Structure 1
Amino acid sequence: MKTFTPKPADLSHDWYVIDASDVVLGRLATHAANLLRGKNKPTFAPHADSGNYVVIINADKIALTGNKMGKELYSHSGRPGGLRRDSYQQLMAAGKPERIIMSAVKGMMPKNKLSKVQLTRLRIVSGAEHPYGGQQPKVYEIEQISQQAK
């Protein structure tokens, strides 16, 4: 039996919507990373770009467990003295949960050129409405929600 290698004609990019209300950050990131890579398809190959588009809504209602409110995200502008340090609590208060989710999903992806392309298919929206209704995305359910939300 020969190994199946998907051809460019076999690759399709579906759209999925994930509701992040009361979902733990790590669980959301793993599900989103698997969808971005296309691991939910039977034609998955690690070297082929069979990933999907993922839209995460209600990013401002995400659940952070443990002491993650004190955890910090670092970014550097490339200029001298350009190191920026923001805690998760500051980012949530400033209305920028997109940076938290993007960082978590990026950490779950492999570190190569293909994953950088696949990461561009991730769309994060703070509210419940998103502008991607024309693509008719499928709803992707994450079964287990945060224990703290109950």
Structure 2
Amino acid sequence: MQQQTTKSYYESPKKWYAVDAKGKTLGRIATQIAILLQGKHKPQYTPHTDLGDFVIVYNCSDVACNSTDKLYYRHSGRIGSLKQRTFAEQMAVSPEKVVTLAVRRMLKRGPLGNKMITKLKCYRGAHPHEAQMPIEIDLEKGKQLAEIINDSTNR
């Protein structure tokens, strides 16, 4: 009888990254954050394991969106109860949810994606995670994520 062996789970220490969303475009920072949460920036990346790092996004209330017709839907499950909000209305109610939804929709569906999204921490203003000593990264337009991480860790 043949015995199946699988690659052992690589337990890497999780790093904490802090991202300032002030003036940044929502979709552009969401793609970079999704890469960090999945661990795709690491050489040990495998799709079936959770190797991603923790990401703190602060100043979510100042995030920008290029689209003027962005709508957010919610439904209670009852007939005729579909509600919608524009981007501006949703930002007034909960800017953290706007960033979380944008990132969540870029992650895998299922238990692994649910576990990854718990490592995302979004805040309206300043964040309370100074004890974790997060690495501050500036997601600039046109720079690759690996280059940004190398620049921030070498400082």
TM-score bucket (shorter structure): 0.7 to 0.9
**Does residue 7 of structure 1 match 2:1?**
no
Amino acid at match of 1:106: R
Partner SS for 1:70: coil
Say whether the 8 Å CA contact 2:72–2:90 is kept in structure 1.
Answer: no
Match of 1:134 in 2: 131
Query: Percent of aligned positions with the same letter in both sequences?
Result: 34
Partner SS for 1:69: coil
Answer with 1 or 2: which has the greater Rg. Answer: 2
Q: How does 1:85-104 map to 2 (within 5 A)?
A: 85-92=84-91, 94-104=92-102
Partner SS for 1:31: helix
Instruction: Please give the TM-score of this superposition, normalised by the length of structure 1.
Output: 0.82
Amino acid at match of 1:91: Q
Deviation at 1:7, TM superposition (A): 2.2
Deviation at 1:80, TM superposition (A): 4.5
Deviations 1:13-50 (A, max 9, x none): 21110011111111110011000101111111111111
Say whether the 8 Å CA contact 1:60–1:126 is kept in structure 2.
Answer: yes
Match of 1:148 in 2: none
Amino acid at match of 1:43: Q
Match of 1:113 in 2: 111
Q: Which has the higher contact order (CA 8 A, sep 6+)?
A: 1
**Does residue 52 of structure 1 match 2:49?**
no
Give the number of aligned pairs: 137
Gap change, CA 1:138 and 1:5, over 3 Å in 2:
farther
Amino acid at match of 1:50: L
What are structure 1's unaligned runs of at least 5 residues?
A: 146-150
Gap change, CA 1:28 and 1:6, over 3 Å in 2:
farther
Deviation at 1:57, TM superposition (A): 0.7
What are structure 2's unaligned runs of at least 5 residues?
A: 1-5, 143-155
